[in-house]
Amino acid sequence: MRPHRLFALALCLSPLPAMAQENAALCEDLYRRLANAPHIIGNTSDVREHAQALTKQNIEIRKLRLDMRRHECGSISITPLGGPNDHACRALRQMLSDMEQNRKDILSARNQARSLVITNHETKLIRADIKANNCTPPDFEATTVSIELLTKLRGSFQCPDHMTRKTAGVFLKIECHQGWILPINHRQQPAR
């Protein structure tokens, strides 16, 4: 009876290394996607400012079109020639054309800012996937950092030799090794 239990246990545990290997590949892919995600340059206040500018521009365009109707200028597609207000109508049409071009510029700037804000949502989703797949280490001290893997995922960069960073009220002494910032130890006070 005992060999049957051991055999059943061995069968149950045999897929674990394969699952761990698949999870490692998934985690590596998630970290690669996170490293390649675009960084946010704009923010929601920029989008709000563009919306306000667009609203003001639309109001000015409506006012100008009302002025054009009052002067019997017609519209952009229908233009009466040789009327009593021909000179004023040309100036109003040019102003309308400039305002509509300005509105297009505001729209394109707003759409660019909006796309930059949306990338932040993409980054949040990737971080949620990393957490859901248990790809995050529970503690710095329990983690062994593979410099080659980090370099493969993120590329290299330069940093100072020794730094102290405050994280959640705890000062973390870190050092730079081949361009990567690695934790040395946890301290309650910064190193002096």
pLDDT digits (tens, 9 = 90+) for 88-98: 888 888 999 99
The mean per-residue pLDDT over the stretch 156-185 comes to 49
Regarding whether 106 and 85 lie in a shared domain, the answer is yes
Contacts of 31 (CB under 8 A, 6+ apart): 130, 135, 153
* Single residue among 132, 152, 174 that ends a domain in this structure: 132
Q: Which tops the pLDDT comparison, 188 or 155?
A: 155
- The answer to whether residues 54 and 120 belong to one domain is yes
Of the two residues 8 and 58, the one the predictor is more confident about is: 58
In a domain, 101, yes or no: yes
The answer to whether residue 77 is domain-embedded is yes
pTM of the model: 0.40
Q: β-strand 180-187 against 162-167: which pairing, if any?
A: unpaired
Q: Averaging pLDDT over each range in 28-42, 56-70, 154-168, which range is the top one? A: 56-70
Give the domain extent around 98.
44-132
Look at residue 12 and tell me if it is in a domain. Answer: no
For the ranges 39-53, 68-82, 151-165, the one whose mean pLDDT is highest = 39-53
Q: How far apart are CA 87 and CA 139, in angstroms?
A: 76
Whether 189 maps to a domain, the answer reads: yes
Q: Is residue 48 part of a domain?
A: yes
Distance CA(70)–CA(118), nearest Å, equals 44
